[in-house]
Every structure is written in structure tokens, then in C-alpha cells.
Structure 1
Amino acid sequence: MYPIGRFQQPKSISLEALSSAILGIHRFPEAVAGLLTDLPEERLDSRYRPGGWTIRQLVHHLADSHMNAYMRFKLALTEETPVIKPYKENHWAALADSKLGIDVSVQLLAGIHERWCFLMQNMDESQWIRRFFHPEQKQSIALNVSALAYDWHGRHHLAHIRLAKLSK
């Protein structure tokens, strides 16, 4: 389910688009925390669609995913087109730590995003075109594209959380 549509990779990425994505990533942890304020514990197990993840799983997924994204940036900045390690998101979402309270993952998001955004704000043009290779997608991905994709990813799952909050 794609409540905001699928990610559309632009043909070219302007500095304005990149700045907007960094700002979105920077503001993301606060947006997550804001959506979850005063949400009763029992509502954390609401789903945005039948068979979809619960709000709790979504929050933990976001921490998992964005930790991986930050590491992919660091790998791409320090190695020549490193092959990244994909992970099975659905399997991760079923592990015991996805049943924890959400505060730990909200705090992780805040810390990761602070470091990640500081890193991105200090990258030069040559660093933005560095790449990592994604073996499941069978393509190399530039960091500027990845930044836009993760800004989209955050907004995508915020929409899922909003839908789950509306469900009974």
C-alpha cells in the first residue's frame, strides 16, 4: 500500500531537492514522536491495513531501516561502491525486539538522524554521487538518490501510522 505513491527517482537532482530531502529527514523523528504523543499502549498494535504491520512494528522498522541507511552512507563515503547487506524486513519486524515499547526506537531515530543529517549537511558535490551496490535490486545507487528515497520512506510510513491511528 502506497498512500503517498511510490518513490519516483527524478532524472536529475537539484541542490534544492537535496536540501528539501535533508530537511525532511532532519524533521522526521519529531514528526514520528508527534504522531505518537498520547497514543494509548493498546493502539500501538493497530494495523494500517489487514496483514500490514502494527504501529509498533512500523516504528521499530523505521529505526532498523534508517540505521541501515546511515551505515550505507558511511560505507559509500569510505569505500568504492560497496556491496551493501540487504535484510529481510518482514523477518526483522517479527523478532522479539519489535514487541518492545516504541520509546527506544523513537530515541534511536532521533540520534541516528542527528548524526546522519550532520553528515549529509557536510558532504560535498563529489560525495553525493558516490554509490553503493544493492544486490537485491541489482543496481548501484547514488547517495543523492538514496537521500531522496529515505525522505520518501519516512513520509510513506508516517502515512501508514496515520491510517493505523484511524483504524478500529
Structure 2
Amino acid sequence: MEEHYLRYPIGQFDKPPVITKPVIENWIETIGSFPELLSLEVALLADEQLDTPYREGGWTIRQVVHHCADSHMNAFVRFKLALTEDNPIIKPYNEALWAELNDSTSLPVASSLFILKGLHHRWYSLLKNLDQEALKRKYTHPEHGQEFTLEETIGMYAWHCSHHLAHVKSAKRKELWG
């Protein structure tokens, strides 16, 4: 149970049976505010603190920040594809291997925080201007063998933002300051 909590401190994404306009608006605000909240959490951390894993066997805070930039760049492209093509098959990537690359393990987090700030500014604007028809557009994820609507995907990425923000907070609380 403890391992599951450390891995999923806010639980796993649970798509509501009905996705309402207020729910989508809340998710969009979560996506919009994420870069600032993440920046505030990591602003005063030293390198050795950034290199602290959020759980045993988990990524370091540094890797989490870089992963968020990698993941959200891919998400933004997926949204653009779904909005401009009919149910495109998106390209998956191996996030675990990406997190082990040199840029994810050693670069300062500022580079990914800059990416997230600019990317989320654009993504937020795009999301705020989607109509009901656009929200129902889909893409197919070949690894999962299923279609995802953009409205559902907004929820998954709002969860993703909160999920990794909780990892950073957990690492700071548990590992850095006891």
C-alpha cells in the first residue's frame, strides 16, 4: 500500500462517466497553472536535492521536471494532430528510457521549466478555445490499442500535472526535510 501511494500520491487518473464543461475548465486551469507551481516547488533546491528520488527506485526530482517537459511536448503535438487530422495514430515514446538520457539526468531544470512555461502558455490558449466538436476529436494510441478524445486527454494531462507535482512535494517532505 505504501509503495502504491508513493508511486501514485493522488491516485490514478479516473475518467468521470460524464465530462462536463466545468470539469474541463478546471482541468484546463490545472494545466495552465502547472509551470508556475512546479517552478515554485523546485526554485530553491540545490543540485543534490534535485537528484533525490521521490521514492525508492523512482526518478529524481530533476528527472521528473525534465520528464514533464518531454511528456507535455508530446501531448501538445498529439492535440495538434488530433485537431488537424482524422483520428491520427500517434507516436508513442519510451519515457523511462528518455528519463535516463544525459539531458534528463544532468542538465539544470531551468531549461525544462522554460519549455514548460512557453509550451503551457500555448497549450492553455489552444485548450481555452476548443469548442464541443473539437473536444470530441480523437487520436489512437497504438500501445493501448484505443482511441482517446481530446476532452478525456485534457483530464489525463491535468492529472499528470498534479501527479508529478505531488511527487516533487513528496520528495521534498520525506527525503529532504525528514
- TM bin, normalised by shorter chain, reads over 0.9
Counterparts of 2:128 and 2:90 in 1: how far apart (Å)?
23
Counterparts of 1:49 and 1:38 in 2: how far apart (Å)?
20
Equivalent residue for 1:111, pick from 111, 118, 124: 118
Q: Match of 2:151, as an amino acid?
A: N
Equivalent residue for 1:80, pick from 82, 86, 90: 86
Per the TM alignment, residue 42 of structure 1 is displaced from its structure 2 partner at its CA by: 1.4
Equivalent residue for 2:27, pick from 21, 25, 33: 21
Counterparts of 1:45 and 1:8 in 2: how far apart (Å)?
30
Q: Deviations over 1:63-104 (max 9, x none)?
A: 000001110000000000000011001100001111200000
RMSD between aligned alpha carbons?
Answer: 0.7
**Equivalenced residues, count:** 168
Question: Where do 1:22-41 residues align within 5 Å?
Answer: 22-41=28-47
Counterparts of 2:66 and 2:133 in 1: how far apart (Å)?
33
Q: Match of 1:113, as an amino acid?
A: H
Q: Deviations over 1:116-146 (max 9, x none)?
A: 0101111111000000000111110000000
Question: Where do 1:30-109 residues align within 5 Å?
Answer: 30-98=36-104, 99-109=106-116
Query: After TM superposition, what 4+ stretches of structure 1 lie above 3 angstroms from structure 2?
Result: none
Q: Percent same amino acid at aligned positions?
A: 48
Q: Match of 1:53, as an amino acid?
A: W
Per the TM alignment, residue 57 of structure 1 is displaced from its structure 2 partner at its CA by: 0.2
Q: What TM-score does the superposition give when structure 1 sets the normalisation length?
A: 0.98
5+ residue gaps in structure 2? Answer: 1-6
Per the TM alignment, residue 12 of structure 1 is displaced from its structure 2 partner at its CA by: 1.2
Per the TM alignment, residue 24 of structure 1 is displaced from its structure 2 partner at its CA by: 0.5
Matched with 1:125 is 132
Per the TM alignment, residue 41 of structure 1 is displaced from its structure 2 partner at its CA by: 1.7
Q: What TM-score does the superposition give when structure 2 sets the normalisation length?
A: 0.93
Counterparts of 1:50 and 1:28 in 2: how far apart (Å)?
25
Query: Secondary structure of 2:86's match?
Result: coil
Matched with 1:155 is 162
